[in-house]
Structure 1
């Protein structure tokens, strides 16, 4: 399957031997997070390629059916039924195809970090925990697990020991911090090596978080 996902690419260093695939949130695009790369202040010894895919454009039910970039439809504000599970699976398959193309070109899966913010984080969880090859890490920002009750039976052992960093705003008005914490506790119960960070912010990122993400990336990729 060809991913056919367009993306923005940002290079840190000359000959990248690591890849970060970073998925944006609802209504944003790959351009939204691309400026974070220089903010991470990664050392020159690391050579990393950042890929920021654009989600497909689709109507979003809770936004009166308005067409926008979205990894899946949101049909309800009820968090039990918030994510359109078929849309989640379809987008995860597209991102999987993109990652598999990179592996075919020679990138080691263990040098690939899968990151996502909000809706993008839902896809990062969906794909990363079920991916058949060990990844370098999963970064989940201001997000939640879709259908957490299915994870235990659907997860793949390849990523049982993959490091996961979860970060969330304490005052998040879009995805309550409690949902991020529930994902953390679910992963903890399933014995994943998962870390939790929270910050006095809303549904966004802050400089302290960016610095911690940078340190986490450096440990995974150095």
Structure 2
């Protein structure tokens, strides 16, 4: 894995945001916007996914956290790849803990496939995190939940989705939100009118507020 983009805290480092990009992107894609919304005591880590052939894109090689077979909510999934990617996420958390940052001061977030990875990794992680941010995303291996949710059921989750998303359908975001509500206690699903598979200033403001709330200095 290529080394992640890291934006150091500008005040005393007491919390960390780990943010995962979408398919075909790199850690640089989201680093500056996450750097702009984090608080001064928060370090930002934006890893880059390994390059692999992606079935959805006719087998072309590109940065991807796991193989995407289809973007149909009931289609086949790369279960082995998803589990392997989550282990990578768990090891990134362990590195922060080793550096003195407790899990309760760590937020996992991501966009699209990265948001899917953030949600899955948080729910399969036994220690409590500070928060979860999922943008234009879905919950992978959703049939296995809530059984596989061994942790973070009470962790605040901010889920954001544009209602004109042509890639990850808005309906898929809604279905994910209603599933998560069944076993998570602090979920919030925000809709952005007219937004496609991208971000917006309004969404970034909401993320900033969420980070300030769950990662107090």
Structure 1 residue aligned with 2:34: 37
Distance 1:64 1:191 in 2: 36
1:65-122 per-residue CA deviation (whole Å, 9 max, x = no partner) reads 1110001111234332254121111111111111112112211100000001100011
Q: Tell me, yes or no, if the aligned pair for 1:116 and 1:123 is still in contact at 8 Å.
A: yes
Q: For 2:54, which of 60, 73, 77 is the aligned residue?
A: 60
TM-score by length of 1: 0.92
Are positions 1:187 and 2:184 aligned together?
no
Q: Tell me, yes or no, if the aligned pair for 1:174 and 1:203 is still in contact at 8 Å.
A: yes
Q: Does the residue aligned with 2:30 lie in a helix, a strand or coil?
A: coil
Structure 1 residue aligned with 2:92: 98
Structure 1 residue aligned with 2:160: 167
Q: For 1:143, which of 134, 137, 140 is the aligned residue?
A: 137
Distance 2:169 2:76 in 1: 13
**Where does the alignment leave 5 or more consecutive residues of structure 2 unmatched?**
none
Q: Tell me, yes or no, if the aligned pair for 1:39 and 1:210 is still in contact at 8 Å.
A: no
In structure 2, relative to structure 1, the CA distance for the partners of 1:71 and 1:142 (3 Å cut) is same
**Where does the alignment leave 5 or more consecutive residues of structure 1 unmatched?**
none
1:142 Cα deviation after fit: 0.3
Are positions 1:48 and 2:42 aligned together?
yes
TM-score by length of 2: 0.94
Distance 1:117 1:127 in 2: 14
Structure 2 residue aligned with 1:17: 14
Structure 2 residue aligned with 1:70: 64
1:29 Cα deviation after fit: 0.5
Q: Which runs of 4+ in 1 moved over 3 A?
A: none
Alpha-carbon RMSD: 1.4
Q: Tell me, yes or no, if the aligned pair for 1:72 and 1:83 is still in contact at 8 Å.
A: no
